[in-house]
Amino acid sequence: MDWHAMAAPWLLVEAEIEDAHGTVLDALMARAKPVPGARVLDIGIGSGSSTLAAARAVGPDGQVVGVDISPAFAERAAARVPSNVTVVNADAGSHAFEAEAFDSAISLFGVMFFPDTVRAMANIRPALRPGGTFTFASWAAPHANPWFGLPAKAAAEVMGPAAARDPLAPGPFAFADSDRVLGLLAEAGWTPAVETVDLHLTPAGSVADVARLQTIIGAAAMRMNDVGADDATRAKVHAALETALTAWQVGPDIRVPARIHIYTATA
């Protein structure tokens, strides 16, 4: 995966994405429950919203280490975090972590991209003390997450059907089959559990604002970038997105239904 290409559009709309994912981060932290003074490992930190949340939870006497494979993400996160946080630009699936250095680990949509899930999860496990928990959020089935399906449909209305993708390939929905993932975690040496949560994503702004966001990052953006769509095509996709998003308008706000798996793996 080209991690620079993945990070670049995300960083253009960092605040908007963090607004949209805010309810998921809240649900994740409510289950991870990092306590003051704890040592927390954050995997796949992106631009750092989950790392900041962990730093607030553990307080000045705690420690957070955030790891991301993308140099651009690591650089951006490092510029945001307080003094009790260290950011590491590395592949968490192969990085040499200090043994039993952390009380717990978290990840907000950061673990679905490992090319070898069992190997990566087995690599992370010894970094936690015995009994430590790795709590991470991932997307459930595509049909329950219109944040992805709606833009893909809008793009298809303008550009025709997209090529089928391997549902098990590294990507947003690689952990959608919770039974499969529980098996992979067990194979990697964890004692796993999962809770599936229905909530609403909370992107800020108007229908037009959220439609613009979806032309920069997400399924519609990816489809247009893949084919080098011209300005006229992009304008048509934007219009289709605006029309589709009105279904999720609640007063002045956009509230998009989502289904999230929150896994808890115990070392």
pLDDT for 77-99, tens place per residue? 999 999 999 999 999 999 999 99
For residue 238, tell me if it sits in a domain. Answer: no
For residue 51, tell me if it sits in a domain. Answer: yes
160 Cβ neighbours under 8 A, 6+ residues apart: none
3-state secondary structure of 56: helix
For residue 249, tell me if it sits in a domain. Answer: no
- The 10 Å Cβ neighbour count of residue 223 is 21
For residue 54, tell me if it sits in a domain. Answer: yes
Residue 199 belongs to a domain with what CATH number? 3.40.50.150
The string over 136-159, giving b where at least 16 C-beta atoms fall within 10 Å of a residue's C-beta and e elsewhere, is bbbbbebebbbbbebbbbbbbbbb
| 101-142 confidence digits (pLDDT tens) | 999 999 999 999 999 999 999 999 999 999 999 999 999 999
For residue 240, tell me if it sits in a domain. Answer: no
Which residues form the domain of 174?
Answer: 3-142+165-204+258-266
Give the whole-number percent of the chain exceeding pLDDT 90: 92
For residue 13, tell me if it sits in a domain. Answer: yes
d(CA 147, CA 125): 31
Q: For residue 47, what pLDDT band results from cuts at 50, 70 and 90?
A: very high
pTM over 0.85: yes
Structurally, how many domains does the chain consist of?
A: 1
Whether the pLDDT of residue 50 is over 90: the answer is yes
Q: For residue 34, what pLDDT band results from cuts at 50, 70 and 90?
A: very high
For residue 45, tell me if it sits in a domain. Answer: yes
For residue 244, tell me if it sits in a domain. Answer: no
Length of the chain in terms of residues written: 267
Return mean pLDDT, the chain: 95
